[in-house]
Homo-oligomer: A and B are copies of this chain.
Amino acid sequence: MRLNELSDESLHFRVQQLLAEYVEVIDDDRLEQWPELFVDDARYEVVPRENSDRGLPLAAMFCDSKGMLIDRVVSLRQANIYALHYHRHVLSNLRITQRSDAEVQAQCNFVVFQTRVQGETAIYSAGKYQDRIVATDGGLRFKEKRVIFDTYRIDSLMVRPL
């Protein structure tokens, strides 16, 4: 796939499908497939909005290779202790903010809903994705994903990627 051959609408559609796949592997708890949506030297960071607005670098989670993403999943599966829960993402307002032949920049709002053992669903986190996406032989992949979250009080270990 060559990015510059796609119309704005087609590109938007494909980015949306990548995001839908991203959400699906998390919500369906197929986390082993989550790193596969990134390129090898991808950067993934989860940043509080306040830090992002002020240009402060501190991140709640930071990975700069696919290997680190795989590590996170292994640690979630084998090391972390946490109560059973489900996540459910809602994405909205997708916009392509820049595109070149090499790369697409896209952003959208997200809200993640969490259901715990008591069976009630609560807002877990709201915020915004800022993504840099590239075309590979396997389709579109994340080169960089910045998760900027509004909700800075999270009352449980942030084990699952946002």
Interface residues of A (CB under 8 A from B): 8-10, 12-13, 17, 19-21, 23-24, 27, 49, 86, 88-95, 109, 111, 113, 115, 118-123, 125-128, 150-153
Contact = CB atoms under 8 A, between A and B. Distances in A.
Contacts of A121: 111, 123, 125-126, 150-151
A153 B27 contact: no
A90 B88 contact: no
List 9 tightest A-B contacts by C-beta distance, closest first. Answer: A119-B153, A115-B150, A119-B152, A20-B93, A90-B92, A121-B151, A86-B150, A88-B126, A113-B126
Complex copy number for this chain: 3
A119 B13 CA distance: 33
A23 B109 contact: yes
Given A123-B123, A125-B121, A24 B92 contact: no
Given A13-B9, A128-B27, A153-B120, A91 B92 contact: yes
Contact of A120 (B86, B119, B151): B151
A109 B21 CA distance: 12
A98 to B, nearest CB: 14
A125 B121 CA distance: 7
Contact of A92 (B89, B120, B123, B150): B89
Given A12-B13, A115-B150, A93 B123 contact: no
